[in-house]
Chain A
Amino acid sequence: MPRPTKGARLGGSPAHEKLILANLATQLFQHGRIKTTETKAKRLRPLAEKLITKAKKGDMHNRRQVLTVVRDKSVVHHLFTEIAPTFAERPGGYTRITKIGQRKGDAAPMAVIELVTEALNQVSVSKAPASPKATVTEAPAEETTEAVTEAPAEETVEATEAPAEETAEAPAEETEAKKDNA
């Protein structure tokens, strides 16, 4: 039995939804970061990451498959020649969604989705004893990617911050981990 796509349905019809997601993906690769609603960002993330995975393979077959979604040839060229090489050693998790609060007109929760541009950093051990609860809930594979997305500066910060800060950080990481698993 086919499993429905995760997340909310968008637009008025399946064709409209495909068009919305294709346009969002095109704009994301064109500009690097786009502001959209949280729901659309959550639907865009898996699509964009699959396209980047195809771009990393880089051959003609994959390029034609990407062209069925992103119709703009110049954007596809940019994706294959400039974006994909920057993700060469990154094992997934190419995009990042940050919630930025509600839109003024209709109070829709907005988010910024962006391509991760930070360099890939290896996980350091100093963080594990600092937040044992977060490490337990996170899968071992998750640990490496999670540390990657967070700046290394944060580790030194967390060590100096008050423990109240720590509790605020921990749930944030858990939700991040859940989203990444999804």
Chain B
Amino acid sequence: MAVPKRKMSRSNTRSRRSQWKAAAVSLVSCPQCRSPKRPHMACPTCGTYNRRQVIEPSA
């Protein structure tokens, strides 16, 4: 079985981990209540999608 010959340095470990990044969620403003919401999804604040009431509002 292939095994690592050398211990990986902290520098190399940290360089690799510097690429672990979270992507920002894209947001649009709700046409109904103007609060930010995810595109193509019902607004969690007012519960509408395309101005149609889909779910009961959270607030």
Which chain B residue has the least Cβ–Cβ distance from A165?
A: B31
Interface string of B26-59 (1 = CB under 8 A from A): 0010010000001111101000011110110000
Measured between beta carbons, the chain B residues less than 8 angstroms from A99 are 40-42, 49
One of A100, A165, A175 near B55 (C-beta < 8 A): A100
| Bound-complex Cα distance A160 to B55 (A) | 26
B41→A153 contact, CB < 8 A: no
Smallest CB gap from B49: residue in A? A98
Alpha-carbon separation in the docked complex, A172 to B51 (Å): 13
Q: Which of A59-105 contact B (CB under 8 A)?
A: 98-101
Q: Measured between alpha carbons, how far is A100 from B41 in the docked complex, in Å?
A: 5
Q: How far is the CA of A5 from the CA of B40 in the complex (A)?
A: 25
Q: How far is the CA of A161 from the CA of B31 in the complex (A)?
A: 9
Report the minimal beta-carbon distance from A182 to chain B, rounded to whole angstroms: 16
Q: Which residues of A contact B52 (CB under 8 A)?
A: 98, 151
B51–A154 touching, CB < 8 Å? yes
CA distance A101 to B54 in the complex (A): 12
**Which residues in B have their C-beta under 8 angstroms from that of A151?**
50-52
- Binary CB contact string for chain A from 132 to 153 against chain B (1 if under 8 A, 0 otherwise): 0000000000000000001101
Among the listed B28, B31, B40, which residue makes an inter-chain contact with A157, where contact means beta carbons less than 8 Å apart?
B31
- Shortest distance from the beta carbon of B13 to any chain A beta carbon, whole Å: 28
Among candidates A112, A161, A168, A175, residue contacting B28 with C-beta atoms closer than 8 Å:
A168
Question: A11 near B: Cβ within 8 Å?
Answer: no
Known: A98-B42, A157-B51, A161-B31. 14 other contacts (CB 8 A): A98-B41, A98-B49, A98-B52, A99-B41, A100-B54, A101-B44, A112-B42, A112-B54, A151-B50, A151-B52, A153-B51, A154-B50, A154-B51, A172-B39
What are 16 of the A-B contact pairs (CB < 8 Å)? A99-B40, A99-B42, A100-B41, A100-B54, A101-B38, A101-B44, A112-B42, A150-B50, A151-B52, A154-B51, A157-B31, A161-B31, A168-B39, A172-B39, A172-B40, A172-B50
**What 5 pairs between A and B have smallest CB-CB spacing?**
A99-B41, A100-B42, A98-B54, A168-B28, A98-B49
A residues lining the B interface (CB < 8 Å): 98-101, 112, 150-151, 153-154, 157, 161, 165, 168, 171-172, 175
